[in-house]
Chains A and B, each alone.
Chain A
Amino acid sequence: MKRELDDEELKRALGSLRNDDPAPEWMRERLREILLQEAQRKEQAARPVRGKALAGRPWWRSRWVVGIASPAVVAAAAAILALRLAGVWGPALSYARILEPVLLATGSPECVHLVLNVRERPDEEMGFIVPTGESVRAEAWVRWPASARSAGADAGQRSVEPGRLRVEKPEWSYVADGKSVVYFWPRQNQALRHPVGSARFEMAWPAAWVEKILEAPEGAEVIETVEGDAAVGTPSRLLLRWDAPALRGRAPAWFEDYPREVEIQWDARSKRLMGFRRWVFVDGKRIAVTELAAIEYLPSIPDETFSISLPEGVRFVELIPAPPEIDALGPREAAEFFWKAAIAGDWETVRYFVPNPKLLDWLRDKRPVELRALGQPEKSGNYVGVFIPYHVKYAERGGRTKHRIAMRNDNQFGRWVVDGGI
């Protein structure tokens, strides 16, 4: 007899399609070409006088220019195309072809254990770099999500075994045990629990690093390629460089915010990634921010590695339910509501906007007394939320802060909450 579906199962089935069917790469390429053509058309339309020759014809359409230039242009275009096809020139074409087997080979093992030296804060999640800071050690164990067949009464029924991940930094632990994801800060005895689906495997799954480069070749410049020798055992190497994106006044914080270089080394025989280094350029100085110190590809890692026991009295960072009118506030309204509640000492209301107990304690200590100005929200870089400039006066020693509060609403309530910048 057929079983009826309940709402939760149906929602899960729909939700499982979330990662299916991303737009194919050819579509992205074609659209990029179309939009760039559109940009050129706009540019030409906006340049009415300067491009005209005396005869009233644009200079680039003058028969002299066309007559002289066209054979040269055709020859140059043919040469460029030939070079690109030969893989000699054109980073997107040539290095994608080099990296594809590396991606396949690096993604094939079940588990990986690795050690990274990273120039990051010891208590912050991976990726938020501090080029002027000390290097810290991060150790990670990963078991990639795999399909498995369950035994017993449900024999034959397929189930997907969620992946496992553990990342340890000196003052931060991140554990995905297949049921949930736990962030733990031992110094503050503070923890955060997220659903298992939010596990960020890309932090420590080497194939994801390669895939990320393959997925975003735009603007990449190939600095060096070295082909290894399988007989001698020398690794192959690829070094790429990117320029910094526009940050609109925000200080760079993530690796992708800087002009940067990435080097990948792989074993010439197995094609597996064996080395990974990243640098950023600050004031013309090349600073190493990530170095893979050790890596081992393993057939399995015991379950105990992916469990964490939290100490007594641990405080959880969590959003408490709020009245619907709070959830419905826009980012600027939410920031204003938050500051006014903090100034009035209404800590219950402040808690709706501040999930982090440590930040709440800090606010209670400093005690804001006056909101002097609040600007308009703006997006910047890859940040999921918005930044809002503000000017607040604090009670303690008459201190004042002019800064940009970071607000995000990618939580279960869709509420704009404070993410930083205080």
Chain B
Amino acid sequence: MKSDEEPIGPAGGPSPSEIEALLGEPLNALHKVLKRRGVQPADAWDIVQETMIFAYRNYDKHDPTKRLSAWVVGIGLNKLRDFRKSQRLRWGLPRLFRRSDKEPLLERDVKRQWALPPKETPEQALLSKRDLRADPLERLLRAEAAERLDHALAQLSEECANALILHHVLGFQQAEIAEMTHAKVSTVAMRIQRGLAALRKLLTYEDVEDLL
């Protein structure tokens, strides 16, 4: 619902402040999920665009009593699932029918890379870090530990990995995750427990020590 204080966006779409709301915490949460799920940057950018445009067009369907980031991440997870399906389908088809035969994969990926920005300069990279005071060695060790954790997460089932990331990394409640993933709360709780148990088998204390 729009108030009188703010000009309503074009053709009843979200207002500028609502667009900014979409580009705040929801975008960060979605980016984190895709990063942790090991999606390549060019693919992640495609999924983010599709998710945000879908969220923009369907903004009026968002229940304002629920967190915007939960709604957007829910859409993003559906897009990610569609993307994974399309990947399986593409590589599962006979070579004759592959899309890459019409448009060479290399060329297509080069085109998509053009959509990405130029690499950051060292100064920009430094500024983009929130913790300006972090020791470079510490950052490196942390990044390596995070990579080991991501690698272990990649070995879990899609449902367990998503539930763990959404609950323990992004801090969503189990009820919110249940709604995002169209599952029961008890199922989500079980996926989290199973995911934790599986990760414990895959990792040792030394593997994640630098994150603690």
Contact = CB atoms under 8 A, between A and B. Distances in A.
Interface of A: 2-7, 9-28, 30-32, 34-36, 38-40, 42-43, 45-46, 100, 103-104, 107-108, 144-147, 157-158, 207, 211, 218, 245-249, 328, 330-332, 377-379, 386, 414
Interface in B24-79: 27-28, 30-32, 35-36, 45, 48-49, 52-53, 56-57, 64-65
B115 to A, nearest CB: 8
Interface stretch (B80-88, B98-106, B202-210): B202-210
A192 B98 CA distance: 62
Contacts of B145: 13
A4 B133 contact: no
Given A103-B132, A246-B15, A379-B64, A414 B173 contact: yes
Which 4 A-B pairs give the minimum distances between C-beta atoms?
A246-B6, A43-B10, A14-B168, A23-B31
B132 A104 contact: yes
B133 to A, nearest CB: 6
A51 to B, nearest CB: 13
B32 A377 contact: no
A5 B27 contact: no
Interface size class of B (residues with CB under 8 A): 35 or more
Contacts of A32: 19, 23
A45 to B, nearest CB: 7
A68 B141 CA distance: 61
A346 to B, nearest CB: 25
Interface of B: 1, 3, 5-6, 9-11, 13, 15, 17, 19-20, 22-23, 27-28, 30-32, 35-36, 45, 48-49, 52-53, 56-57, 64-65, 117, 123, 126-128, 130-135, 138, 141, 145-146, 149, 164-165, 168-171, 173, 175, 196, 199-200, 203-212
A158 B36 CA distance: 24
A10 B196 contact: yes
A196 B159 CA distance: 31
Contacts of B164: 14
Contacts of A39: 9-11, 13, 19
